[in-house]
Structure 1
Amino acid sequence: MIDMPQLDVGPYNGLYDILIAADNFWRQLNDNIDFSFVANEVRKNYSECMGRIAADPVLLFKYLLLKTARKLSDRDLIERVRYDMEMKYFLGYSPEQTEFIDPSLLTKFRRTRLKDTDLLDVLIGETVELGKKKGVIHDHEKIIVDSTHTNALYQHISAREELIRRAKELRKSVYAADESMKDKMPKKRESSGLLEDEIEYCRELLDLITSDERFKSIPDIQERLNYLKEGVDDTNEQLEYSKDQDAKIGHKTADTSFFGYKTHIAMTTDRVIVSATVTTGEKHDGKQAVNLIEKAEAAGVKADALIGDGAYSEKDNIDYTTEKGIRLASKLSENVLHGSRKKEFEFNKDAGMYVCPAGHMAIRKCKSGQEKAADGSNTRVILYFFDIEKCKTCPLREGCYKKGAKSKTYSVKIKSDTHIAQMDYMNTDEFRKLYAERYKIEAKNAELKQTLDYGEAHACGMIGMTIQAAVSIFLVNLKRIKTLENSSKDTNGKE
């Protein structure tokens, strides 16, 4: 069963009218958004007849919004609510409230109640509906598409190394308060190289510092202590591996890579996101175009035009948008997938190279064949060469690498009739005008990373990354809709 409490009304609630302005973002969000959709979405993950009454999922979701916006651990978030009137108002507490939820409820809510939900699509759908009511989103829109990458929580280092780093930061804060604590610290076990030993050391360190009453009043120590504790709890759930197993290596350029995820987004030219999907880091941007268009339609927005970089100009996307009557403003690249090749090989637009199923990138490329062979056919292809030494020992070599071969290549045919037609469209004024809007999505990606710390995953696994995407996009959309609404009022001469 789910407990759905009413707004806490106390004798001091009038303070909110004095302290929190009418145009405050969190006040407007609380007053204008009906969050009951959250309870409906997670209801299937609750039992209606077993166990004690559960905490209100709407309240827990509001906590999650604040956690993402303020970049706090669960424990520090609860502590901040004790004295932050803005937070108390948004959560529905009275100003004098002193008792709040246990931080462990937030962890359980994220891990068990939000799993197997369509939270990402639901939250975007809610903001699209709100935007349409406010008149800032329309039934037909020009849509800009792109992806942004997020480093995994344990990017390129093991969970053990991450715990060592957090423990070191905690010790430094303690030494700043009392240098004599150096002689009291538990004995390090770094030489063993075992994750289990490092977890045990961190627990001893946490017990030592927690037991010292002097440090409870020092915010810096408490925040680092909670950060380490959360890291131990997360790692303890996944002792069988040392880094996020859902995450994959993606390539930003031929020389740079990242370990994590991609969030593929579609937004209007007014910078409101209307659809999104989260994939592992190695996935090709262009493969998500159809999914993004269909998700936008499900949310209530039909694409009049699709604007994106060269990754979206592959043949399947051109055929799809032509059939749907959608103008495709995507510059052709000669290195695009042409439909007849193996789907497992992904093209990385930034590096200009293909990546094999094992995640290895081609090391060089060259052109081969003739534009008009003896039989009149076009045999021109681009050959991508892979590091043969890696192929020899690759666990996926069966059916891909022929034993004894001196080279491993992957070929892509140059130009189809479909791409030739797209080349003609690229020379039109309409194409140039549409493509000039593409830069806007770069600013949206930057906003996600700079204001909501979206460059780093806050939890392990695809589920955690998807929840982070859902909440982050929900927040930036609401802020953008508010900005557009205020701008419209100013233009019309209203207050």
Structure 2
Amino acid sequence: MLRKPTAQQTMLEMVTLDSLVPPDHLVRKIDAAVDFSFIQPLVEGLYCADNGRPALDPTLMFKALFLGYLFGIRSERHLVREIEVNVAYRWFLRLGLTDKVFDASTLSQNRGRRYNDSDVAQQIFDRVVEQAIGKGLVDGTVLYTDSTHLKANANKNRYDQRVIAKSRADYWDALDAAIDADRAAHGKKPLKPAAPREPDAKVTKVSRTDPDAGYMVRDGKPKGFFYLDHRTVDGRLGIITDTHVTPANVHDTIPYLGRLDRQRGRFGFDVGAVGLDAGYATTGIAKGLEDRGILGVTGYRRTTRPKPGMMARKEFTYDADCDTYRCPAGENLAYATTDRNGYRQYKSDPQVCRDCPLRDACTTNAKVQRTITRHIWSDVRDEVDGHRLTPWGKRICKRRKETVERSFADAKQLHGHRYARFRGLIGARTQCQLAAAAQKSAGFVNGMKAGNRLPAFCCLGAGHVQTFF
């Protein structure tokens, strides 16, 4: 028999908030795994101790933002509405069923006035990493780094052309010193200090809406104004250990070594190896990793193809003992100079090349001369490239998609990481740090549930990496 339902909303029931939240709910697991008590002592210096109206509890505020990023809630106003009706969110925030929820403007005003110029979000992120280390979920032996783009809140067709300073890589000072040493070893005069190694400025597109965003032009990527989230995850359980935001026109290699050093210093990581994609396969990164005693495994980077009918650079053989290149015709290309970008130039003899039967396939130079360049750190780059072909290097390359690439996929699919919610570099950086902290806390639950049974990579001396299960 079909019965007509009766209204139940006005019935008086005796319940507790704790009984309404399922025992296996994610917020219960995170509440048990992460200690948020550090937040209030961390930010108390930003509040007046004896004047003004009572402030919203900072722990409650950041835990509310934490919920928003954890569950991919698209805006702070929407977040407040969800807290009003979701008993699990109220339980997590220690709010009663009848407690009034703060206004959405409270979050925006605190962000703009109190926390905009502080590094509170970075410190919160670091504290969560320290808790992961304390629970044995992070060991810092093998780190994986990559970047992903977040679309800025800016129209790609509304911009101005401006001259801005170029980003400076972390290894440029070491490269300048190496260039001077290499020229001295070959009997060349030092380069003039006053002459710049390359132009210090460039003309680029600057958004009228969000000037901090960078105009991105990459193969296979959308064009427009974006930010880049440079993220590092630990190889043990894929826990995020660092996130750093730059405009999208900053190359991945620019901040990499600095962020790696920050993790080693801040968390005491004894990094044995790193897994990187082909975008990091540069001589500067290879040399930086060698200087730090870290084994690098990078993806394959395709070299520039020669024009049809012309001989490729790989057909010229380098003789390290004589420091010369030998062409397919058996003639030597002698060392000429070392330029400001760190490349040694090896040039052929025009008198010999003029009568060579391979001349038309070798060079179209007006002087009938072929020039081959070799970076002063090429030996280190070749060594790092060779790691990719070793058994342990193949395992690290394979693990990339299970760690940092999966981390980005989850962030975009579940945590609203496709778009920058706020304008300006500080807002984008805060978003990525809090979103990574929330995503990392969800990783706590999975890692503790797995009982640390996932593979962990350990470095056993120089040049040897072994996998343990």
- Give the structure 2 partner of residue 421 of structure 1: 383
Aligned-residue offset at 1:93: 0.9
Q: Does the residue aligned with 2:271 lie in a helix, a strand or coil?
A: strand
Aligned: 1:75 with 2:42: no
Q: CA deviation at 1:107?
A: 0.6
**Partner Cα separation in structure 2 for residue 79 and residue 292 of structure 1:** 37
Number of equivalenced pairs: 341
Alignment TM-score, normalising by the size of structure 2: 0.65
CA contact (8 A) 1:42 1:114 kept: no
**Mapped contact 1:157–1:243 kept (Cα < 8 A):** no
| Residues 365-376 of structure 1 mapped to structure 2, 5 A cutoff | 371=325, 373-375=333-335
Q: Which residue of 2 aligns with 1:463?
A: 426
User: Residue type matched to 2:431 in 1?
Assistant: Q
Residues 56-111 of structure 1: per-residue CA shift (max 9 Å, x gap): 111111221223334243333323322210111111111232x2212211111222
- Tell whether the 8 Å contact from 2:72 to 2:416 is kept in structure 1 after alignment: no
Per the alignment, residue 250 of structure 1 pairs with 216
Fraction of identical pairs, as percent: 21
SS in 2 for 1:460: coil
Counterpart of 2:179 in structure 1 is: none
Q: Is the 8 A contact 2:34 2:441 kept in 1?
A: no
Q: Is the 8 A contact 2:17 2:96 kept in 1?
A: no
Alignment of 1:204-283 (within 5 A): 242-253=208-219, 256-269=222-235, 270-283=237-250
Shift of 1:421: 3.0
Structure 1, 473-482 or 296-305: larger mean CA deviation: 296-305
| In structure 1, distance between residues paired with 2:398 and 2:141 | 15
The corresponding residue for 1:34 is 35
Write the distance in 2 (CA, Å) between the matches of 1:412 and 1:283.
Answer: 29
CA shift, 1:334, in A, is 6.8
- State the Cα deviation string for residues 89-147 of structure 1 (Å, max 9, x = none): 111111232x2212211111222222233344323322322222332222x42111100
Q: Secondary structure at the match of 1:135?
A: coil
In structure 1, stretches of 5+ residues that fail to align are 1-11, 160-240, 336-351, 354-365, 382-410
- Show CA shifts across 1:15-39 (max 9, x none): 2332212332212333443323323
**Whole-Å separation in 2 of the counterparts to 1:289 and 1:13:** 56
In the TM superposition, what is the alpha-carbon distance from 1:414 to its structure 2 partner? 4.1
Match in the other structure for 2:410? 447
RMSD, aligned α-carbons: 3.3
The answer for the alignment partner of 1:55 in structure 2 is 56
Counterpart of 1:18?
19
Aligned counterparts of 2:14 and 2:27: Cα–Cα separation in 1: 16
Letter in 2 for 1:419: R
**Which of 270, 287, 297 is equivalent to 1:319?**
287
Deviation at 1:437, TM superposition (A): 1.7
- One-letter identity of the residue aligned with 1:141: T
Q: Given the two structures, how large is their TM-score scaled by the length of structure 1?
A: 0.62
Of stretches 251-260 and 144-153 in structure 1, the one that deviates more from structure 2 is 251-260
AA matched with 1:265 = R
Q: Contact 2:137–2:452 at 8 Å: present in 1 too? A: no
CA contact (8 A) 1:459 1:465 kept: yes
CA distance in 2, matches of 1:20, 1:455: 30
Give the deviation of 1:49 after TM superposition.
4.2
Q: Where do 5+ consecutive residues of structure 2 fail to align?
A: 1-12, 160-206, 306-310, 317-323, 326-331, 338-343, 348-370, 455-469
Mapped to 2, the partners of 1:67 and 1:111 lie a distance apart of 18
Q: CA deviation at 1:480?
A: 1.0
Contact persistence 1:264–1:276 (CA under 8 A):
yes
Deviation at 1:303, TM superposition (A): 1.8
Rg larger for:
2
What amino acid is the match of 1:146? D
SS at match of 2:399: coil
Alignment map for 1:58-457 (pairs within 5 Å): 58-68=59-69, 69-97=71-99, 99-138=100-139, 140-156=140-156, 242-253=208-219, 256-269=222-235, 270-297=237-264, 298-331=266-299, 333=301, 371=325, 373-375=333-335, 379=345, 413-415=373-375, 416-440=378-402, 441-457=404-420
Paired residue secondary structure (2:400): coil
Larger relative helix fraction: 1
Residue 429 of structure 1: how far off its partner (Å) = 2.7
Q: Which residue of 2 aligns with 1:221?
A: none
Does the 8 Å CA contact 2:336/2:346 hold for their aligned counterparts?
Answer: no
